Each structure stands twice: as C-alpha cells, then as structure tokens.
C-alpha cells in the first residue's frame, strides 16, 4: 500500500522569499516520487521526479526536492519565489510495481508582491 500526505493545504510567501512545500509518503517498497504543478484552469505538469538515483532532484523553474528515506519525506523547495509560481502543487508516490500512482491532496502556493 502507498499513501502521500501534503502537510499544508495553503502556503503563503512573499515574492523573493524561499518556498517550502512539505510532503510525506508511506510505502512498503522503494518508491518513485514526483511533484506536479497546476496553474489555474490548466492540466498538471511534471516539475520533477525521484526514481532511486540522486536523492537531491532538480526540476524546472528552479524547483528542487530532496528524498529523505529516514524521514519518509520529499519536500519541494525553491530559493526565491516568483509571482508566476502561484499555483497548486501535488506530491505523488508510485511503488510496489503499481501502475497507478497516488496523489496528495495538493498545496496551494500563494505569492504576494
């Protein structure tokens, strides 16, 4: 069985300040982990993925995430927020040979000028 918990439903930051979106996962197997972004009225776009290679993963638009097995976490970070980063972010886990990934409930990132 696999599950994913996004610890914050909303995160609010000022433009130019760091972003931290938190994600914890549960899996009986070595997981693959993903972050997606969804801008208003759009589909989801892959930001980055971890598939058992380097634990620090770099994605598009300056985002990165670190896989921490001991903490079962895969938090998404960005050093400096831009207004264009305002969107919904989803953490996703896939493991155990499953063909169906499990999505978190999403974190809404609000960026203030």
Partner 1 sequence: DVKVTQSSRYLVKRTGEKVFLECVQDMDHENMFWYRQDPGLGLRLIYFSYDVKMKEKGDIPEGYSVSREKKERFSLILESASTNQTSMYLCASSFRRANTGELFFGEGSRLTVL
Q: Which stretch in 16-24, 53-61, 70-78, 95-103 sits in contact with partner 1 by CB under 8 A?
A: 95-103
**Nearest Cα to Cα of residue 23 among 40, 11, 41:** 11
Candidates 9, 28, 56, 113; binder of partner 1 (CB under 8 A) is 9
Calpha distance 53→69 (Å, rounded): 13
Kindly write out the interface string for residues 16-55 of this chain, putting x where it contacts partner 1 by CB under 8 A and - elsewhere: ---------------xxxx------xxxxxx--x-x----
110 interacts with partner 1 by CB under 8 A: no
Calpha distance 26→51 (Å, rounded): 15
98 interacts with partner 1 by CB under 8 A: yes
Core vs surface per residue 44-65: b (16+ CB within 10 A) or e:
beebbbbeeeeeebebeeebbb
The answer to whether the CB of 102 falls within 8 A of the CB of 53 is no
Q: Which stretch in 15-23, 66-74, 76-84, 86-94 sits in contact with partner 1 by CB under 8 A?
A: 86-94
96 interacts with partner 1 by CB under 8 A: yes
Tokens of 51: 């598939």
Nearer to partner 1, 79 or 110 (CB): 110
Q: Which residues bind partner 1 (CB under 8 A)?
A: 9, 31-34, 41-46, 49, 51, 90, 92-101, 103-106
């Amino acid at each position: 069985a696999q599950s994913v918990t996004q610890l914050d439903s909303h995160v609010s930051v000022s433009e130019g300040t760091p972003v931290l979106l938190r994600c914890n996962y549960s899996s009986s197997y070595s997981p693959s982990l993903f972050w997606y972004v969804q801008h208003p009225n759009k589909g989801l776009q892959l930001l980055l993925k971890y598939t058992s290679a380097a634990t620090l993963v770099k994605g598009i638009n300056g985002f990165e995430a670190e896989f921490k097995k001991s903490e079962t976490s895969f938090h998404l970070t960005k050093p400096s927020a831009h207004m264009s980063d305002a969107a919904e972010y989803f953490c996703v886990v896939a493991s155990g040979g499953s063909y169906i990934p499990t999505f978190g409930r999403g974190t809404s990132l609000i960026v203030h000028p």
